[in-house]
């Protein structure tokens, strides 16, 4: 029990459908160098989907209320491409929401903690993701804060966050049991709910 290693994560993915699609090795280079994704020693590097990336707009006098979230506070970022790959631009000192390519199906005795990748952290990009609790299912909405004054590229189809799988005893009440409000998220950004 504790933090799962690569063999245990692979078994969860292959035999229990915990990660779909599953990449059984750490990919660092395709036809161009990429920010690594796939299975690592004690985690799994999730990829950012090209489907959608939303950026919080600055609207003077507006206050974001998590109890009455206004989607008008967000604008859709344009997917861009050059010789380095496809990417979204997250402006300096701003916040954005994306979605993971991978679908998670978390077992009853596991919780997944999401952390940022060091390549992005060194650029000032912070991945502020919440845990995926026991029996949570769906595509994670990924939250990014650009703490730098400079704009930052966030590459799609490449690693943006690492998932750590923590195993313990079966919990009394799972996320599914209590009908969690973010259960079965689709392949799109899911906004704050009450």
Do you find a cis peptide bond into 122, omega within 30 degrees of 0?
Answer: no
To the query of whether residue 143 is one of the catalytic residues in this protein, the response is yes
Residues forming beta bridges with residue 37, ordered by sequence position: 27
Q: Which of 143, 158, 169, 176 is catalytic?
A: 143
Which residue do the tokens 């077992």 mark?
A: 107
Q: Which residues contact 167 (CB under 8 A, 6 or more apart)?
A: 1, 2, 3, 4, 8, 109, 110
For residue 182, what are the CA distances in angstroms to 31, 136, 139? 36, 8, 10
For 155, which DSSP code? E
DSSP-H helix ranges across the chain: 6-16, 118-121
Residue 86 near residue 156 (C-beta atoms within 8 A): yes
Q: What are phi and psi of 97, to 5 degrees?
A: -125, 130
Residue 189 near residue 141 (C-beta atoms within 8 A): yes
Q: Which residues are catalytic?
A: 143
């Amino acid at each position: 029990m504790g933090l799962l290693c690569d063999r245990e994560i692979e078994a969860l993915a292959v035999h229990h459908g915990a990660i779909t699609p599953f990449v059984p090795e750490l990919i660092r280079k395709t036809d161009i160098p990429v920010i690594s994704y796939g299975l690592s020693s004690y985690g799994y590097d999730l990829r950012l989907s090209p489907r959608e990336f939303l950026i919080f707009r600055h609207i003077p006098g507006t206050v974001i209320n998590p109890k009455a979230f206004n989607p008008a506070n967000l604008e859709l970022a344009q997917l861009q491409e050059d010789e380095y790959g496809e990417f979204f631009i997250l402006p300096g000192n701003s916040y954005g929401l994306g979605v993971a390519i991978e679908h998670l199906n978390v077992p009853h005795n596991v919780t997944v903690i999401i952390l940022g990748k060091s390549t992005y952290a060194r650029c000032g990009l912070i991945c502020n993701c919440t845990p995926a609790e026991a029996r949570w299912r769906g595509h994670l909405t990924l939250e990014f804060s650009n703490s730098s004054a400079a704009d930052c590229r966030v590459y799609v189809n490449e690693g943006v966050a690492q998932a750590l799988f923590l195993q313990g005893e079966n919990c009394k009440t799972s996320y599914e049991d209590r009908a969690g409000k973010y259960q079965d998220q689709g392949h799109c950004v899911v906004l704050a709910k009450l």
